[in-house]
A and B are shown apart, each in its own frame.
Chain A
């Protein structure tokens, strides 16, 4: 499950998934893995994870948009949220406002490692089918 750290009026949500892996899944044929489905028929999208090109990212009841990566070797996807200055209990505020979203985010995160593994395997197999021909001609 994603971890949340509160510093002052900012809450930083750090995913268990790397930002680069979210982007990798978005580009692949398995982008559906980023969507959590439910509803009466079990096929209605209820929560989605995506990368954002800029900004701080966003989190609400229907999705999480990650714009940044953690500033360490892991590069985990992060969202930075603002907490209103009149909030007295920041932890309770985050749990109350984003609790359901964080639970849904955890459900999506749980299935992503094997998706990334499958994409990497496909990519490796694809690379093995590509041959680079050496076109340099020996100079006389």
Chain B
């Protein structure tokens, strides 16, 4: 299982999910709109297609941060 802090600029919550859960499933179960900003996993930007990969695919086996960050200049 993986403990993920998932959220955006205004809302963050901890979810414990399977390592085989995809990033998209985790975002959707937390009700995070991932179309509004740049997606980051543990501070690193995600690429198109990455949302359908699992945490295990990224080598995350225990804890991590999955955030949608809107940068307003």
Interface residues of A (CB under 8 A from B): 35, 44-48, 50, 52, 58, 60-65
Q: Mark B1-27, 1 if CB is under 8 A from A, else 0.
A: 111000000000011101110000000
Are B18 and A62 neighbours in the complex by a CB distance under 8 Å? no
Other-chain residue from B2, B16, B19, B62 in contact with A47 (beta carbon distance below 8 A): B16
Chain B count of residues within 8 A CB distance of the other chain? 12
**Beta-carbon contact of B16 and A65 below 8 Å:** no
Which of B1, B16, B63 has the largest number of chain A CB atoms within 10 A? B1
Is B18 a contact of A60 with CB atoms below 8 Å? Answer: no
* B3 x A45 contact (CB < 8 A): yes
Residues 17-71 (chain B) with a chain A CB within 8 angstroms: 18-20, 61-63
Q: What would be 25 A-B contacts, judged by CB atoms less than 8 Å apart?
A: A35-B16, A44-B14, A45-B3, A45-B14, A46-B3, A48-B1, A48-B16, A50-B1, A50-B18, A52-B18, A52-B20, A58-B1, A58-B19, A60-B1, A60-B61, A60-B62, A62-B1, A62-B2, A62-B16, A62-B62, A62-B63, A63-B1, A63-B3, A63-B16, A65-B1
Chain A residues with CB below 8 A from B61, complex form = 60
Contacts of B2 in A (CB 8 A): 62-63
Of the candidates B1, B19, B62, which one forms a contact with A64 in the assembled complex, judged by CB atoms under 8 Å apart? B1
Least Cβ distance of A134 to chain B in Å?
Answer: 42
Residues of B within 8 A of A50 (CB): 1, 18
Report whether A45 and B15 are in contact in the complex, using a CB–CB cutoff of 8 Å.
yes
Known A-B contacts A60-B61, A60-B62; A65 and B3 likewise in contact (beta carbons under 8 Å): no
- Residue on B with the closest CB to A36? B16
